[in-house]
Homo-oligomer: A and B are copies of this chain.
Amino acid sequence: MAKTAPEIALDAFDLAILKILQRDNATPQRTIGEAVNLSAPAVQRRIKRMEESGVIQANCAIVDPAKVGQPITIFVEVEVISETADLIDAAKAEFSATPEVQQCYYVTGEADFILVIVVATMADYEALTRRLFFGNNNVKKFRTFVAMDRVKVGLTVRLEAPGR
Contact = CB atoms under 8 A, between A and B. Distances in A.
B54 A24 contact: no
Nearest to A150: B105
A40 B7 CA distance: 38
A145 B109 contact: yes
B18 A108 contact: no
Contacts of A123: none
A102 B105 CA distance: 15
Interface string A45-80: 000000001111111111111011110010101000
Contact of A99 (B54, B60, B153, B158): B158
A15 interface: yes
Given A54-B64, A63-B155, A107-B148, 16 more contacts: A22-B63, A55-B67, A58-B61, A60-B156, A73-B105, A75-B107, A96-B151, A99-B158, A100-B158, A102-B152, A102-B156, A103-B152, A104-B152, A105-B147, A109-B144, A109-B145
A160 interface: yes
A58 B54 contact: no
Interface residues of A, number: 67
A146 interface: yes
A35 to B, nearest CB: 15
A110 interface: yes
B68 A57 contact: no
A63 B18 contact: yes
Contacts of A1: none
A163 interface: no
